Structure 1
Amino acid sequence: MAVEQAAHALVSAIESREEYLRAVETIAAGHGPIAIDAERASGFRYSQRAYLIQVFRRGAGVFLFDPPAIGDFAELNDVIADEEWVLHAASQDLACLREVGLDPTHIFDTELGARLAGLPRVGLGTVVDELLGIHLAKEHSAADWSTRPLPQSWLVYAALDVELLVDLRDAMAGLLDEAGKTAIAAQEFAAVLTREAKPSKGEGWRRLSGLHTVRGPRNLAVARELWEARDAFARETDIAPGRLVPDSSLIAVAKAMPESKQALAAMREFNGRASRSELSRWWAAIEAGRISEDLPALRVPGETMPPPRIWSDRNPEADKRLKTARAAVTEASTDLSIPVENLLTPELLRRLAWAPPSPLDLAAVQERLVDLGARPWQIDAIAQVVLDAFVEANQTPLQTDESDS
């Protein structure tokens, strides 16, 4: 049975360079892995920068740093770069940590470790509860961490997020070792460190929620101009775009095509904190869309691999391979107690099913998996499974309509 976390002592955020440098010396004198976490202001700010960085090390204690006030963290990185860093869901924090000069060389990801260990839920609070028997409150996870000054309750919450991470790491390592998954975890942790950020797609405006309801290239041009105007203003003010004007408002305007600034102001569907204060900005975007000669295509040219829902029409053999292999990989996932998306990502399986190697043999499948970025342990676990599924699919006659018989 989990026990409640004891009342925490008062904590404060380090804001000066002098305090920061003293903390670096204390952390250097500590021992063992470095627990680290970062708090952003997603949903409130345009940027994904860190607004609080928490560090814990045995023999040193916990430290909360204010990155906007401190600036560069090169001195801390020099002290801890070669140590093991313990993070929970490292992929979410590495970019903002690197932005201030904190770049680990090897990590232990307790969230990813929980997935590989086969735990049913992998949130930090749940995993701490299950492995350490401590109830960790998570009431401030969606807070605006750009707030200044930060409330004491938020600072305590942030401190607790890292104070238990090293203990959790040790318990998780034991669990992985018992399951024979230590080497698997090491490969996955290394992959997180070297994984490149996905490049942003050129037409970000096409990710507008509800864009599929907009008809006509001229209406789409207005939606595009409104999105670009909002994005530029959000970047300039460092406010999340949706907090300025929500997607639903931009879509409503693109569909209605108001004839004047007054008509735009009269639209009830057009709301948001900057909908009226920046009315001229939005009207200028509408006018730009109305006269643009660069009308967007109604549909984006498809990639070489279409979405699976139309494979049965476009490439029935690939559709059969995918369905057969997907079932086999799911079964293997259950046998190994590893989530299917960690065993082999759906995107990778789709690419393999759409364009399988030829000749279709184990060596060729293994080579193709390497080319697609699969880790050695994944190839060992799944190459034969996929090959067998593809062979089975190729030997199964395609179904035909009764009218064709």
Structure 2
Amino acid sequence: MISTSQQLQQFLDNCTKIDGQKICAIDTEADSLHRYKESLCLIQFTAGGECVLIDPLAIEDLSPLDHYLMDATVWMHGADYDMTMLKREFERLPKTVYDTQIGARLLGVKKFGLGNLVEHYFDIVLSKSSQKADWGKRPLSEKMIDYALNDVRYLLEMGDMIVAGLKEKGRYDWFTESCETAQSKVAERDDAKDEQWRISGSGKLDSYGLAFLRGLWNWRDKEAEAWDRPSFMVAPNRQLIEWSIALSEGRRVDLPNHFRSDRVKRYKEMLATIEAMPKEEWPARPVIKRRKRDREFDEKVDSLISTRNKTAEDLDIDGSLIASRAVIEMIAANEASPEDLLMNWQRQLLNL
């Protein structure tokens, strides 16, 4: 476990000297299942033949890692989450990030979780025993340490195998473009979204129901923050939708018996505020533009789907890698150009 900035700098200097180039693999662990505000709790890192754990909870200055990553080739698996964590920590991303999951899928591997790939390439079965562990606690158990190190132990060798397979099949350019696109999406994503309370299922609510949903969301958020627990531990999203429907229909919703009296009191105060709210302050339902479906549209969709499926079958890859149905329908409806929605290699396979 590297727990000081000096140790971190020394280790990274040695890695560069051993390899002569900067190639590493990274994974991260956070405490989103245990705290209100997610924190980066652990960084698993391998380079120069060594696997180590870096402790961001103990290290005041992680800038040596930031500087190292900026001109390194960084391998990850299912990189979206880990890139998001690095972006929050360093406010930027490494220039080159390769994702073993993307590469394996482009090779036609059907089961592409990290454990699946380690078993596929190395015939080793990894333990899943610490998947939901509290990574914010110290010290880490030996079981947690082994689990964490295994998240990066095989990535560099696996990456070499995947690259060799991609080059053999002539798909390496697809891989690099796909990784660059995934990286750009994370870099451009706005984490401070407005109206986060508009969760899945909110589309079925009328304006009055949306007013209750917004109130419930904000009440839950404050309760979770005061408790320092994830919001789903107060009430899951599904329950917020169910309560909003019931309340908008005039039905009474009582909180579970185990809720503390002060939490119930704040809940009732929130309901009273919503019930007294003027209609003009209720949230508006989003305006959904209905797509015009006609024979020409259907024929274009069918043609593109047919081309995609035939091509995917020939390549032995998942058709959604080439284009999802939603994207195909947007192109058929002229709602966006193929250049805006698809990568170069995807457009070529679809003859667009």
Residues 1:336 and 2:315 are matched in the alignment:
yes
Q: Find the counterpart in structure 2 of residue 20 from structure 1.
A: 8
Superposed counterparts of 1:146-157, under 5 Å: 146-157=136-147
Q: Find the counterpart in structure 2 of residue 355 from structure 1.
A: 334
Q: Answer whether contact 1:81 1:103 (CA < 8 A) is retained.
A: yes
> Do the aligned partners of residues 256 and 120 (structure 1) sit closer, same or farther apart at CA in structure 2, a change above 3 Å counting?
closer
Q: Find the counterpart in structure 1 of residue 273 from structure 2.
A: 288
Aligned with residue 126 of structure 1, among 98, 116, 139: 116
Give 1:212 shift: 6.4
Q: Answer whether contact 1:128 1:134 (CA < 8 A) is retained.
A: yes
Q: Find the counterpart in structure 2 of residue 390 from structure 1.
A: none
Residues 1:197 and 2:189 are matched in the alignment:
yes
Q: Find the counterpart in structure 2 of residue 97 from structure 1.
A: 86
Q: What code does the residue aligned with 1:378 have?
A: Q
Aligned with residue 83 of structure 1, among 48, 68, 72: 72
Aligned length: 342
Residues 1:63 and 2:52 are matched in the alignment:
yes
Q: What is the TM-score of this pair, normalised by structure 1?
A: 0.75
Q: Answer whether contact 2:8 2:64 (CA < 8 A) is retained.
A: no
Give 1:156 shift: 1.1
- Identity within the alignment, %: 25
Structure 1 Cα separation of the partners of residues 207 and 332 of structure 2: 35
Q: Answer whether contact 1:245 1:274 (CA < 8 A) is retained.
A: no
Q: Which has the larger radius of gyration?
A: 1
> Do the aligned partners of residues 274 and 247 (structure 1) sit closer, same or farther apart at CA in structure 2, a change above 3 Å counting?
farther
Structure 1 Cα separation of the partners of residues 139 and 323 of structure 2: 44
Q: Answer whether contact 1:23 1:63 (CA < 8 A) is retained.
A: no
Deviations 1:209-255 (A, max 9, x none): 5x5676x5434322220112213443565532111223354345435
Q: Find the counterpart in structure 2 of residue 301 from structure 1.
A: 287
Q: Find the counterpart in structure 2 of residue 243 from structure 1.
A: 233
Give 1:176 shift: 1.0
Q: CA RMSD in A?
A: 2.9
Superposed counterparts of 1:136-175, under 5 Å: 136-175=126-165
Deviations 1:278-297 (A, max 9, x none): 22322222122111121234
Structure 1 Cα separation of the partners of residues 197 and 96 of structure 2: 37
Structure 2 Cα separation of the partners of residues 78 and 213 of structure 1: 48
Aligned partner of residue 111 in structure 1, secondary structure: helix
Aligned with residue 199 of structure 2, among 207, 210, 233: 207
Question: Unpaired segments of 5 or more residues in structure 1?
Answer: 1-12, 358-367, 385-405
Q: Find the counterpart in structure 2 of residue 388 from structure 1.
A: none
Q: Find the counterpart in structure 2 of residue 375 from structure 1.
A: 343
Q: Answer whether contact 1:116 1:181 (CA < 8 A) is retained.
A: yes
Q: Answer whether contact 1:110 1:168 (CA < 8 A) is retained.
A: yes
Q: Answer whether contact 2:24 2:74 (CA < 8 A) is retained.
A: yes
Structure 1 Cα separation of the partners of residues 275 and 204 of structure 2: 18
Superposed counterparts of 1:21-40, under 5 Å: 21-31=9-19, 33-40=23-30
> Do the aligned partners of residues 356 and 226 (structure 1) sit closer, same or farther apart at CA in structure 2, a change above 3 Å counting?
closer
Q: What code does the residue aligned with 1:207 have?
A: I
Structure 2 Cα separation of the partners of residues 354 and 224 of structure 1: 33
Q: Find the counterpart in structure 2 of residue 177 from structure 1.
A: 167
Deviates more, 1:111-120 or 1:217-226: 217-226
Give 1:305 shift: 5.4
Provide runs of 4+ in structure 1 moved above 4 Å: 198-201, 211-214, 235-238, 255-258, 272-277
Deviates more, 1:246-255 or 1:325-334: 246-255
Q: What code does the residue aligned with 2:342 have?
A: A
